[in-house]
Structure formats: structure tokens, C-alpha cells
Structure 1
């Protein structure tokens, strides 16, 4: 059962991480600053998850990247593209609507309704 539960949790989390990352890229972020920003909001993400996600988002043209070589250590910055901002805003609205519906559904008939109030 724990393998099934873990698999379902990973599946549930996958989409939320995409939305969380997009939400933080309204301003340019490099990998470590993005991890810190997400962790500050209580969302942990491994670099082994983050960088493939960023590459996928860049391939989908939702984010663009550029190198900053002005510091002693070059950093690759990521930021939402115009298209990415449009998609993010649509996904955010969809997430809010889905969350409200699920919240209502999960609270109905639950023996421990206080958990959702």
C-alpha cells in the first residue's frame, strides 16, 4: 500500500510543482534562489527535479533563460516568457477553481469536517 500511496502522492505533486515554479519566475531567478524561494513558502524541491523541469518549461517556451557572467560565478537566470505568463495566469485560475471544488467535495459527509472548515 505504501508504494501505491507514494506513487499517487508523486503524481499529485508533479502538477503543483510546475505551478509553484512558474509562480516564482515573474522575476528572474537562478536555480538556487528559486529553491530558496520555494522552500521559504514551504515547498521543497530537489535540484534533480528542478533543473529538468526548468529545461522542459524552456522547451515549451514558457520560460526563457540567460547567463549572467558579471559575478565571479556565472549564473543561469530563468524568467517567464510573455506566453509563459499567459499560461501561468490561466493555470492559476484553473488551480483555484479546482481547489474550491475539491475542498467542497472533500468536506462533504466527512466525519471530521472540522479539518476542512
Structure 2
């Protein structure tokens, strides 16, 4: 291969490119004229526009469901009143606000009775 970069430079500069070598050692300057620039290629024409898709047909109307039957009106009679609360047992009893749900007294006031001192 090449022995050095300098040798490669010497080969290119002095042997393969004589006009450059001649210009380097001459005292006169030469002007070179550049060839006229190549014309720019014409742009390619645009492809024709794509055809518009056909419009979709209007959707078919859906059949309406049958009307619902009328709701029954509430009875004009008032609801019966609940039975009166039982009387409190005798003794020192403390009543709470909630209702009891025990088997003995399914719908009654909670009553905690204490024995007399």
C-alpha cells in the first residue's frame, strides 16, 4: 500500500492532477470558467385527486316500541295508622329512640329496665 500520507498527497497533487501542479508553480493566474449550471428538473405533476366516495344511504328508521300501559293510580284511601305503643312497664326504665327487632317484641321501643334499689 502507500508508505505515507505525504506520498499519497504527492501522487495526487503532482501526477494525477497536472493543471493544479502547473498553477502552483506559475506566476500567472489563470481563471477557469465554470460550465453553465444544469437546469433544474421540472417538478413531477401531481396525481389526479381521488374520487369522492359515494354518500351512504340514509339509515332506515327503527320501529317505535309499543306504548307502555298506564300506571295504576294510588288508592285514595289513607293507610291505616299503626297500633298505639304499649305502656311502659313499671320500674326504672330507660327508653331509646330506635325500634327493637327481638322475637319477643318485634316492633316496640327498646326498654332497659333496672331493678329498684
Q: TM-score, normalised by structure 2?
A: 0.19
The structure having more radius of gyration, on CA atoms, is 2
What TM-score does the superposition give when structure 1 sets the normalisation length? Answer: 0.19
Higher relative contact order (CA 8 A, sep 6+): 1
Which structure carries more helix by proportion? 1
